[in-house]
């Protein structure tokens, strides 16, 4: 890890209790979702991480608390460094702060996450579905939505299929 990145990581570890992990050269910091706005603000203003490269979610279904992790990837062009931030999100009340005020391109990434995972972003200016039609029920990239084609519905098994299929709340 280079000096610049090390300073940033140290600061976040100390001030925001970030959990550092490293895999195949990727530096990942796990922080609580209430700090994400502050941490991004500091990383952008003081450590020149001026690009939000990517924002997405991994769903660890059956693990209740926390069920999701939002993955942010920031890039500093000046130092050519990348840092990953992960924030755990609970299953019961999936919401977190929106980064649109810091990185304007978070807009569509967050709309996509809302669309496909059903995580709400507080402070997002336009949280509509992005990819799916607006009347779509559920959030298909959640792990409890089946991947494979469903069993054919007949009158005798219709209710059974519905019972076995947890649907995400809108």
Partner 1 sequence: MPIHYEVTSVTLDEIKNLVSDRAVTGETMLLNMGPQHPSTHGVLRLLLELDGETIITCIPDIGYLHTGIEKSMEGKSYQLAEVLTDRMDYLNTVGNNLAYCLAVEKLVELDVPPRAQVIRVILAELQRIASHLIWLATQALDLAAQSVFLYCFRERELIMDIFELVSGQRMMTTYIRPGGVWRDLPVEFEDAVRDFLGHFPKRIQMYEDLLTNNPLFVDRTKGIAVISGKEAVRWGMTGPSLRGSGVDYDLRKVKPYSGYEQYEFDVPLGENGDVFSRYIIRIQEMRESLKIIQQALDKLPSGPFRSDNRKFVPPPRSELGTSMEALIHHFKLWTEGFDAPKGAVYVPVSSPRGELGVLLESDGGPKPYRAHWRTPSFANLQALPILSEGHLVADLVAIIGSLDIVLGDIDR
Binding footprint of partner 1 on the chain (CB under 8 A): 23-24, 26, 28, 50-54, 56, 58-59, 71, 73, 77, 80, 82, 84, 103-105, 107-108, 125-126, 128-137, 140-141, 145, 147-148, 158, 162
Tokens of residue 77, six digits? 């062009």
For residues 26 and 21, give the distance between their C-alpha atoms in angstroms, rounded to a whole number.
8
CB of 12 to partner 1, least distance (A): 19
Q: Rounded to the nearest whole angstrom, what is the least distance from the CB of residue 151 to partner 1 in the complex? A: 14
79 phi, psi to nearest 5 deg: -100, -5
Nearest to 116, CA basis, from 64, 72, 47, 57: 57
Closer residue to partner 1 (CB): 14 or 24: 24
The distance of closest approach from Cβ of residue 139 to partner 1 in the complex, given in angstroms and rounded to an integer, is 11
The smaller minimum CB distance to partner 1, of residues 34 and 159, is found at: 159
Placement of tokens 């977190």 in the chain: 96
What value does the CA radius of gyration of the chain take, rounded to a whole number of Å? 18
Q: Which is nearer to partner 1, 11 or 141 (CB)?
A: 141
Nearer to partner 1, 20 or 34 (CB): 20
| 108 backbone dihedrals φ, ψ, rounded to 5° | -70, -35
Shortest spacing between CB 149 and partner 1, in angstroms: 11
What gap in Å lies between CA 31 and CA 78, rounded to an integer? 24
């Amino acid at each position: 890890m280079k000096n610049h990145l090390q300073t940033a990581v140290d600061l976040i570890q100390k001030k925001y209790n970030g959990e550092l992990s490293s895999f195949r050269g990727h530096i990942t910091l796990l922080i609580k979702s209430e700090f994400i706005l502050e941490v991004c603000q500091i990383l952008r203003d003081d450590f020149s991480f001026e690009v939000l490269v990517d924002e997405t979610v991994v769903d660890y279904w059956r693990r209740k608390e926390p069920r999701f992790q939002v993955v942010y990837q920031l890039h500093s062009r000046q130092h050519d460094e990348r840092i990953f931030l992960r924030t755990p999100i609970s299953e019961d009340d999936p919401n977190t702060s929106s980064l649109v005020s810091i990185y304007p391109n978070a807009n569509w990434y967050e709309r996509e996450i809302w669309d496909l995972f059903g995580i709400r972003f507080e402070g997002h200016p336009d949280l509509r579905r992005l990819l799916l039609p607006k009347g779509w029920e559920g959030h298909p990239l959640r792990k409890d939505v089946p991947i494979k084609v469903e069993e054919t519905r007949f009158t005798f098994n219709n209710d059974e299929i519905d019972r076995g299929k947890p649907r995400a709340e809108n």
